[in-house]
Amino acid sequence: MSKAELNAYYRHLDNVVILRDNIVTARGEGRLEGRLEGRAEGRAEGINIGAKKTKAGIAKQMKMDGMPMEIIMKYTGFTQDEIEKL
């Protein structure tokens, strides 16, 4: 193998190592980004579930206190069917 061929081979090996490092780095960054997005979605979903449970509790109490259905619907945003199921 000539000196030029050997140098080309070493450059190729260097490029392979750099490419592999770039792939590993990108994969790690992608995983981190995915985890952060998943956490944000989970928090948002949890907040929505909690808010709905809170409104359901309020609607149930209003219903037990004999409030008119229209008032309960107005303040909770629930439909008549949803309120009747409580």
Contacts of 60 by beta carbon, 8 Å cutoff, 6+ apart: 86
Q: What is the pTM of this model?
A: 0.57
Sort residue 77 into left (φ over 0), alpha (ψ -120 to 50) or beta: left
pLDDT of residue 86: 85
Q: How many domains does the chain have?
A: 1
- Residue 19, domain extent: 3-84
Q: How far is CA 72 from the centre of its chain?
A: 32
pLDDT of residue 1: 83
Tell me the average confidence (pLDDT) per consecutive run of 10 residues in the chain, 86 residues long: 90 91 92 94 95 93 94 92 89
Q: Are the C-beta atoms of 23 and 16 separated by less than 8 Å?
A: no
Q: Are the C-beta atoms of 76 and 54 separated by less than 8 Å?
A: no
